[in-house]
Homo-oligomer: A and B are copies of this chain.
Amino acid sequence: MARIAVTDGMSDEAIEILENAGHEVVLRHYESEEIANGSLLEFDAVVIRSATKLPSEQISSSVSEDGGIRFIGRAGVGVDNIDIAEATKKGITVCNTPGASTRSVVELTIGHLIASTRHIATADRTLRNGKWAKKQLRGSEIGGKRLGLIGFGRIARGVASVASSFGMEVHAFDPFVDEAPEGVQLHDDVDEIFRLCTHISVHCNLNEQTRNLVNSERISMMPGIGLDGIECGNHIVNCARGGVVHESAASMALESGQLTSLALDVFEVEPLAESDLLRHDSFHGSPHIAASTLEAQARIGTEMAGLIIEYFETGSCNNSLN
């Protein structure tokens, strides 16, 4: 039976599943320095979310000739905080739970998109300030417009399906995808997305190709006039990874009017402290909560518990990342 360190929390139900299977679960957060000093050596597995960082040094400090970590579970999707190549070199299996939060992220993406086009955050703010700003809050519809998706994985597909039901025409760019469901037009050139679409949503990982992908030059390509001929302006949403949208470029585009709205759930630096974005009514944001739902956390926990049990029973797990 395995000793499992859970460093960023896990649902009660998942812990119960693991303990019922005979595993020992230790719930405690470890700082990077502690991990570098070998704190995880006494465990067989570690389950992290985004707060714990496992770059090369922390991974090699967590294994020795006598034992240490054999399994890293990322309860969630993004593995930017894990050096998977180093884990592979050390014989450590890395698993995440990619499907568990899909629905939650899809819903927040659509929520943020409509909150942008209909000024929901500003509407509530002005109402709380005792102003009835009906005349200043004229919005625009998403139906009849082109939605461009940067990245076309699970979440983007979910967004595409709902967006179609609103009457949007969906376009997507993803260099790793060459088939799309009916009604979604794939493009080989990301610039095409910006040239065609008044509404763009980011659904890719952060890497050297995608960092600052949404920059001044590309924002300036956006048409401002919808497929239906309405001057709805240009709208961008990012519920994927901070850093894909170049924030100071986006802030300048909001200032100039080239960008009509921007909604971000993720930021270049989190927690967000000061930001030029906050000066704009046409910006609204949330603190990286796309997967923060009761449902996603429940699914993430039980899915991760299942992966751990599978790994320690069979020595491998079905959807490992390495």
A208 is an interface residue with CB less than 8 A from chain B: no
A245 located at the interface, meaning its Cβ lies under 8 Å from any Cβ of chain B in the complex: no
Q: CA separation between A285 and B125, bound complex, in Å?
A: 9
Chain B residue at minimal CB-CB distance from A290: B118
User: Are B287 and A138 within 8 A (Cβ)?
Assistant: no
Write the nearest CB–CB distance from A154 to chain B, whole angstroms: 14
Picked from B118, B132, B133, B298, the residue with its CB within 8 Å of the CB of A230 is B298
Contact residues in B for A125 (Cβ distance below 8 Å):
121, 124-125
Contact yes or no, B230 A294, CB < 8 A: yes
Chain A residues with a Cβ closer than 8 Å to the other chain, count: 60
Give A287-307 as 1s and 0s: 1 = Cβ < 8 Å from B's Cβ atoms: 111001111111000000000
Q: Is the C-beta of A15 less than 8 angstroms from some C-beta in chain B?
A: no
Within 8 A of B (CB), among A146-183: 161-162, 164-167
Question: Which residues of A come within 8 Å of B, CB atoms?
Answer: 103-104, 107-108, 110-112, 114-115, 117-121, 123-128, 130, 132-134, 137-144, 161-162, 164-167, 228, 230-232, 270-273, 278, 284-289, 292-298
